[in-house]
Amino acid sequence: MSENKYKDSFATPLKKAKGLGSAHDGSHHWMMQKVTAIIITPLIVWLIWSIIGLQGASYDEFRFWLAQPANAVLMIILIFSVLYHAVLGLQVVTEDYISSEWFKIMNIIGQKIFIMTLGILCIFSILKIAFTVGV
Amino acid sequence: MSDTTNKVQRPLSPHLQIYNLPLTAIMSISHRITGVSLTLGMLIVAAFLIAAGSSEAHYNLVMIVASSKIGLIILFLWSFALYFHMFNGIRHMFWDAGRFLEKDQAMRTNYVVLMFAVVATIVTWLFGCPYISEIISEVK
């Protein structure tokens, strides 16, 4: 049956077999999940500490806080690492629970586009504030 | 040639709903659920950053929503999910290093993770939120 599928094509059954195989990036995926987790852990403690200090902060207070070089840099590292970690995690969950191949792939692509856009918006805002406040 | 799709109707093993999940399994699925929820939770942080880079009106709107009752409830749940995912993630690191993999150790560390998450959440809100007494009395 499966051989006939490629009867009118130059593609050999090897193409199908390869398509079902490993993507060869599993270890890198796993490793980056761990590396980002290690980066995030102390930064999350810093984030919660900062949120506690910023309760009810006015617009100017918040912008002054974020414009401090240490805060701006830590926030950029946090946003980047958390969103990277989220992309990897969401991909695993999607791959495990969605069985329809095209819907799964569309989901993963959609997640990546959404999260990348979100990350760029955040980092752009941080840099804009850091470069304009107090100038 | 072998076909990858299974055409023979073979008996299936009972699905997930049949089993009485042990705590370890509940913790495992909770790690995923909190992970996905925390991605949504990052939208709160993103909203603050984007609004602060946009305009004072946008920033004030985000601050009003975050300080509202519903906002505080979401922040509370967010903080617990965050601590749970963080401490369970630390346990995952130990597992990756080959530690605590025995069944009884996994069971005991379940409680350690939960305890750390609950205590960290309580400490954060008791010592971090000066309005906590007002909030508690309002909720009552």
Residue A108 pLDDT exceeds 80: yes
Q: Give residue A35's domain range.
A: 29-132
The CATH number of the domain where A58 resides is what?
A: 1.20.1300.10
Residue A111's nearest CA partner among A92, A81, A91 is A91
Residue of B4, B36, B59 with shortest CB distance to A20: B4
Amino acid B11: pLDDT: 80
Q: Is residue A94 part of a domain?
A: yes
- Report the gap between the CA of A77 and the closest CA in chain B (Å): 14
CA distance A32 to A82: 11
* Contact status, residue A114 vs residue A57, Cβ threshold 8 Å: no
Which pLDDT tens digit goes with each residue over B78-116?
999 999 999 999 999 999 999 999 999 999 999 999 999
Q: Is residue A23 part of a domain?
A: no
Q: Is residue A38 part of a domain?
A: yes
Q: Is residue A16 part of a domain?
A: no
The residue written with tokens 């761990």 in the block is A34
Q: Provide the residue ranges of all domains of chain B, joining segments of one domain with +.
A: 22-139
Residue of B32, B53, B90 with shortest CB distance to A125: B53
Q: Is residue A40 part of a domain?
A: yes
**What six digits make up the tokens of B101?**
């993999």
Residue A121 pLDDT exceeds 50: yes
Q: Which amino acid is at B84?
A: F
Amino acid A1: pLDDT: 47
- Report the gap between the CA of B134 and the closest CA in chain A (Å): 15
State the DSSP string of B86-105: HHHHHHHHHHHTT-S-SHHH
Q: How many domains does chain A have?
A: 1
The residue written with tokens 């006939």 in the block is A4
Contacts with B36 from chain A: Cβ below 8 Å: 89-90, 93
A3 in contact with B, Cβ within 8 Å: yes
**What six digits make up the tokens of A116?**
């990348």
Residue A40 pLDDT exceeds 90: yes
Please name the fold of domain B22-139.
3 helical TM bundles of succinate and fumarate reductases (1.20.1300)
Asked if the Cβ–Cβ distance from B124 to A48 is below 8 Å, we say yes
Contacts with B32 from chain A: Cβ below 8 Å: 89, 93
Amino acid B93: pLDDT: 95
Alpha helices in A98-132 (DSSP H): 101-132
Amino acid B1: pLDDT: 47
Which pLDDT tens digit goes with each residue over B47-65?
999 999 999 999 999 999 9
CA distance B121 to B82: 9
Least confident of A17-26, A46-55, B46-55: A17-26
Which pLDDT tens digit goes with each residue over B1-16?
455 666 678 787 777 7
pLDDT (mean) for A105-131: 96
Residue B119 pLDDT exceeds 80: yes
Residue A106 pLDDT exceeds 60: yes
Can you tell me the ipTM of this complex? 0.84
What average pLDDT is seen over chain A?
90
CA distance B72 to A101: 39
Amino acid B134: pLDDT: 75
DSSP annotation of B129 reads -
